[in-house]
Each structure stands twice: as structure tokens, then as C-alpha cells.
């Protein structure tokens, strides 16, 4: 019998093209699963493989920003020139960043629901200016009107920030 042969597949890499590039990860951990001892090893493997500079976590309800930072630290330990920083805004959104968090603010839009969040990160050394990082967890499924209100509120927040009139 004849065996089919294929050309070798080129290996993919997740290396940055430029060392000054920033890698951002948005990760919904589904109801604090980042801290579940059975699921945490998979999250740690993912964090190591992606090696992000900024992580926006969603659905961390029952843990602090410091606890989330500790998991990231376990996956990607700090070095002499890179330390992790963290902040929580609202009841479930956490940013963990290689850049210091200068300010954080919730971005409310929906009545009786969790707000989205904004964090001002000190990226002066890399970008020459701070970075406004938005962490969003809009409603899913057929909730189009509340999702639109969330997006409108976030864009209003960005407009205010750019005009120097916002909370950040």
C-alpha cells in the first residue's frame, strides 16, 4: 500500500515580533475557576504559553486582585526588572499588569448589574504615555440592549478621558 506524505508544517511561535510589543489577554475565568485547584494548572499553562503583559480577568467574584496576581506570579514569576501589579474595579473585574496601575474606575451602565472597568497603566517607559486599559464583561446572549448600553458607557468614558474630563 502506498503511504501519503505531507510537507512538514512550519512550527508556530508565540514570540513577540518586537520586544517592545505589548501582549494583552482578556480572560473570563467562569466564576472564580482560576482558584479551583483542579482547574488552576490549566490556567497556569495557558498564562505561561501566552506570556501576557496585561491581563483583564472577568468573573473573579470571591477573590482579591492580590490573589489573582499571586496566581499570575506563580505562572510567570517577577524578575528584577518586571513585577506584577493588580487592581480590582467593581465586583468581578481584575487587571494584572507588568505596568503599575495609576488609577482604576468602574464604568457603570446597567442598573443592578456589575460595571465594566477602566485602569490607567504607567506605560510611559514603553509607549511614552500612560495606557487606558478597559476591561469589559458585557451581558451575553440576546441581551442586546444592555450590551449596547455597556458599550455606549465605555465609549463615553473614553471620550471623557481623552478630553481630560473623566474620572481617570
Q: Are strands 24-28 and 54-58 parallel, antiparallel or unpaired?
A: parallel
In 3-state terms, what secondary structure has residue 129? Answer: coil
**Mean pLDDT, rounded, of the chain:** 92
Q: Which of 117, 116, 124, 120 is nearest to 132 (CA)?
A: 120
pTM: 0.90
For residue 13, give the C-alpha cell. Answer: 511561535
Q: What is the pLDDT of residue 82?
A: 86
Does residue 113 register a pLDDT over 80? no
Q: Give residues with Cβ within 8 angstroms of 113, minimum separation 6.
A: 139, 146
Segment 114-164, tens digit of pLDDT: 789 999 999 999 999 999 999 999 988 998 998 899 999 999 999 999 999
Q: What is the pLDDT of residue 42?
A: 98
Q: Which of 59, 11, 54, 13 is nearest to 35 (CA)?
A: 59
Segment 70-80, tens digit of pLDDT: 999 999 999 98
Amino acid at each position: 500500500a502506498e503511504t501519503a506524505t505531507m510537507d512538514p508544517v512550519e512550527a508556530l511561535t508565540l514570540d513577540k515580533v518586537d520586544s517592545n510589543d505589548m501582549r494583552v489577554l482578556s480572560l473570563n475565568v467562569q466564576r472564580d475557576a482560576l482558584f479551583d485547584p483542579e482547574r488552576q494548572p490549566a490556567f497556569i499553562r495557558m498564562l505561561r504559553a501566552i506570556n501576557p503583559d496585561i491581563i483583564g480577568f472577568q468573573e473573579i467574584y470571591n477573590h482579591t486582585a492580590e490573589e489573582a496576581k499571586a496566581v499570575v506570579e506563580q505562572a510567570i514569576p517577577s524578575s528584577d526588572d518586571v513585577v506584577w501589579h493588580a487592581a480590582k474595579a467593581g465586583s468581578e473585574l481584575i487587571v494584572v499588569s507588568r505596568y503599575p496601575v495609576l488609577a482604576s474606575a468602574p464604568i457603570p451602565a446597567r442598573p443592578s448589574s456589575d460595571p465594566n472597568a477602566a485602569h490607567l497603566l504607567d506605560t510611559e517607559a514603553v509607549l511614552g504615555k500612560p495606557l487606558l486599559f478597559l476591561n469589559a464583561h458585557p451581558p451575553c446572549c440576546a441581551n442586546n440592549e444592555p450590551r449596547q448600553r455597556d458599550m455606549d458607557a465605555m465609549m463615553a468614558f473614553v471620550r471623557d478621558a481623552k478630553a481630560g474630563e473623566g474620572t481617570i
